[in-house]
Amino acid sequence: MRAVDQWEQIEADLPAGWREARLSFRPEGAPEDAAAVLLGLRPGRVGDELRVHVRRDLGETALLRNLLRRLDEKRIWGALTLLGADVSERADVSTGTGRSLAEEWDREVSLLPAGWRDLLCELDLDSSALLPRAALLGAPLNPTRVPESSVLRFRASSGGGYGTAAPMVRRCLERMDAEGITGHVRVVHALSDTENVATQGPVWRLAGRSL
């Protein structure tokens, strides 16, 4: 079985709140060849066995999947096994809750007035290492990075104009939740009952920049 398929089976059996997985890969050929491919995960070697630790909160699951595909492409076959996994509850320090990103979005939307139309929002990630994967999964949001931070800024709209529809925002955040990307979602500015006449929507000015 291909290495990436072995990982998908292992990942499917991991508990929902897993934080770190410890894996062993025992190649059929020279361990050095497999170690060269897995270098990005800093593998350790025990005899003919390679061991790696994968941190879900750092977005390393995507890196692992890509490296395992490279093993398969190079026909470096072997057995991938799970040695152990750590599980932790995601805690929201500010509220004392364990809300997912999608649940935080639901809460933000629930606090808006019924006639809301345009939103300026921010996704504050727990680590800058999560930015590339979060930006990819959130591509429909057309996010922009706030300089020198781990914050992605995006716009949402309840209908028409420039901004992502609320259901699509939630879907993007669900994808991030599924890959263990953590952080906080907040609505920075909200406008109600606006009419986009010959425009794509309102323009916000923050720190001298138009958004």
Q: What are 123-152's pLDDT values in tens digits?
A: 999 888 889 999 999 999 999 998 888 899
Convert the pLDDT of each residue in 144-158 to its tens digit: 998 888 899 999 988
Q: Maximum Cα–Cα distance for the chain, whole Å?
A: 69
| Between 193 and 60, residue with greater pLDDT | 60
- The whole-number pLDDT of residue 90 equals 46
| 120 touches 153 (CB < 8 A) | yes
Measured distance CA(10)–CA(22) in Å, rounded: 11
Question: Taking Cα atoms as reference points, which of 170, 131, 167, 135 lies closest to residue 149?
Answer: 131
Mean pLDDT (the chain) is 83
Q: Work out the percent of the chain whose per-residue pLDDT is above 70.
A: 84
- The whole-number pLDDT of residue 195 equals 58
Buried (b) or exposed (e) across 4-15, using 16+ Cβ within 10 A? Answer: bebbeeebeeee
**Mean pLDDT lowest among 43-57, 70-84, 86-100:** 86-100
Which H helix or E strand runs over 164? Answer: strand 164-165
Measured distance CA(141)–CA(183) in Å, rounded: 16
Cα-Cα-Cα-Cα dihedral sign, residues 8, 9, 11, 16: positive
Mean pLDDT of 43-70: 86
- The whole-number pLDDT of residue 94 equals 40
Convert the pLDDT of each residue in 165-211 to its tens digit: 999 999 999 999 988 888 899 888 888 765 554 455 555 555 445 54
The domains of the chain, with CATH numbers, are 3-87 (3.30.70), 101-193 (3.30.70)
- The whole-number pLDDT of residue 15 equals 82
